[in-house]
Structure 1
Amino acid sequence: MKILKVALLKVYKMLFWLLGKSFHKDYRLIMFESFLGKQYSDNPRAIYEYMRAHYPDYRLLWSVDRRYRKMFKALGIPYVTRFTPSWMIYMNKAALWVTNSRLPLWIPKPADTLYLQTWHGTPLKKLGTDIDSVLMPGTDTEKYKKNFTAESSKWDYLISPNPYSTEIFKRAFKFYGVMLETGYPRNDHLFNNDNPTFQDYIRTKLGLPMNKKVILYAPTWRDDSYHERGKYKFDLQFDIAKMQAELGDDYIILLRLHYLVAENLDLSGYEGFLYDCSTYEDVRDLYLVSDILVTDYSSVFFDYANLKRPMIFYTYDIEHYRENIRGFYFDFETMAPGPLVETTDALIDAIQGTEISDFNEEYETTLFRQRFCALEDGNAAKRVSDRIICYLES
Structure 2
Amino acid sequence: MKIVYYSFGGRYSDNPRALHQRLLTRGDVDAEHVWLAGPGHAAAFPAGTATAALRTPEATAALESADLVIADNHLPAWEKRPGTTYLQTWHGTPLKRIHRDALFTQPDGEDVMSALDDDITRWDVLLAPSVAAAVPLRAAFGFPGPVPVTGYPRNDALLAPGAVERRAAVRAALGIAEGTTAVLYAPTWRDDDRFGDGPDFRLQLDLQRFAQRLGGEAVLLLRLHYLVPDALRGLDVPGVLDVSRHPDINDLYLAADVLVTDYSSAMFDFAVTGKPIVSFVYDLERYRDVLRGFYFDPHEIAAGPLLETSEEVLDALAGLEDVRIRFKERYEAFQEMFCHAEDGHAADRVLDLVLDHREVRP
TM-score normalised by L of structure 1 = 0.85
Q: Which residue of 2 aligns with 1:313?
A: 279
Q: Which residue of 2 aligns with 1:202?
A: 170
The residue type equivalent to 1:77 in the other structure is: T
SS at match of 2:127: strand
Q: Which residue of 1 aligns with 2:105?
A: 135
Cα distance in 1, alignment partners of residues 306 and 87 from structure 2: 35
Retained in 1: the 8 A contact 2:302–2:330?
Answer: no
The residue type equivalent to 1:121 in the other structure is: G
Q: Which residue of 2 aligns with 1:265?
A: 232
Q: Which residue of 1 aligns with 2:185?
A: 217
Give the superposition deviation at 1:194.
Answer: 6.2
SS at match of 2:105: coil
Q: Which has the larger radius of gyration?
A: 1
Give the superposition deviation at 1:67.
Answer: 1.2
Retained in 1: the 8 A contact 2:257–2:276?
Answer: yes
The residue type equivalent to 1:46 in the other structure is: A
Cα 1:310–1:184 change in 2 (3 A) is: same
Gaps of 5+ in 1: 1-27
Give the superposition deviation at 1:145.
Answer: 4.4
Cα distance in 1, alignment partners of residues 39 and 236 from structure 2: 32
SS at match of 1:281: coil
1:108 matched to 2:79 = yes
Retained in 1: the 8 A contact 2:229–2:244?
Answer: no
Give the superposition deviation at 1:386.
Answer: 1.1
Cα 1:34–1:275 change in 2 (3 A) is: same
1:172 matched to 2:167 = no
RMSD over aligned Cα atoms: 2.2
SS at match of 1:364: helix
Q: Which residue of 2 aligns with 1:9?
A: none
1:355 matched to 2:321 = yes
Q: Which residue of 2 aligns with 1:3?
A: none
Q: Which residue of 2 aligns with 1:23?
A: none
1:288 matched to 2:229 = no
Equivalent of residue 57 in structure 1, options 23, 30, 44: 30
Retained in 1: the 8 A contact 2:60–2:78?
Answer: no
Retained in 2: the 8 A contact 1:160–1:182?
Answer: yes
Partner deviation per Cα, 1:53-103 (whole Å, 9 max, x = no partner): 223411212111131111115x54332222333323222211111010111
Give the superposition deviation at 1:251.
Answer: 0.3
Retained in 1: the 8 A contact 2:63–2:78?
Answer: no
1:301 matched to 2:274 = no
Which shifted more, 363-372 or 353-362? 353-362
Q: Which residue of 1 aligns with 2:88?
A: 117
1:346 matched to 2:312 = yes
Aligned residues between the structures: 356
Structure 1 residues 272-283: aligned runs within 5 Å: 273-283=239-249
The residue type equivalent to 1:34 in the other structure is: S
Percentage identity across paired residues of the two chains:
37
Cα 1:152–1:283 change in 2 (3 A) is: same
Q: Which residue of 2 aligns with 1:81?
A: 53
Q: Which residue of 2 aligns with 1:244?
A: 211
TM-score normalised by L of structure 2 = 0.92
The residue type equivalent to 1:288 in the other structure is: L
Gaps of 5+ in 2: none
Give the superposition deviation at 1:263.
Answer: 3.5
Give the superposition deviation at 1:134.
Answer: 3.3
Cα 1:35–1:360 change in 2 (3 A) is: farther
Q: Which residue of 1 aligns with 2:64?
A: 92
Give the superposition deviation at 1:249.
Answer: 1.5
SS at match of 1:94: coil
Cα 1:348–1:361 change in 2 (3 A) is: closer
Cα distance in 2, alignment partners of residues 161 and 266 from structure 1: 33
